[in-house]
Structure 1
Amino acid sequence: MGNIAFVTDSTAYLTPEQANEYGIEVVPLSVLFGSETFREGVDLTAEQFYARLAHADKLPTTSQPTPGEFAAVFERLLKDHDSVLCLLLSGGLSGTVQSAEMAVKQVGGDVTVVDSRISSYGIAGPLLDGAALARQGGSKEDVLNLWRRELEEMHAYFVIDTLEYLHKGGRIGGASAVFGALLQIKPILTMNDGRIDLFEKVRTHRRAMERMLARFDEDARDGRPLQVGVVHSRRLEDAERLRQDLLARYPNVQADISELGPVIGTHTGPGVLALVYYPRLSSRRDGQ
Structure 2
Amino acid sequence: MTNTTAVLEFRLLGFRSNPQCQILLFIAFLVIYILTILGNIIIISVVTLEPRLHSPMYKFLKNLSFLEVCYTTTIVPKMLANLLAKRKSISFSGCMAQLYYFISLGATECYLLAVMAYDRYLAVCDPLHYSVAMTAESYTRLAVGSWVTGVFTGFLPCLMVSRLHFCSYNLIDHFFCDISPLLKLSCSDTTFTETVIFILSLLVLSSCFLLTLVSYLLIILSILKIPSASGKRITFSTCSSHLMVVTIYYGTMISMYVRPTYNLPSELNKAVSVLYTVITPLLNPVIYSLRNTAFKKAWEKIVIRRHCLRSL
Do they superpose with TM above 0.5?
no
Larger radius of gyration: 2
Q: Give the number of the structure whose residues are more often strand, by fraction.
A: 1
| Structure with greater proportional helix content | 2
Structure number with greater CO (CA < 8 Å, separation at least 6) is 2
> Where on the TM-score scale, by shorter chain, does this alignment land: which range?
0.3 to 0.5
TM-score, scaled to structure 1: 0.33
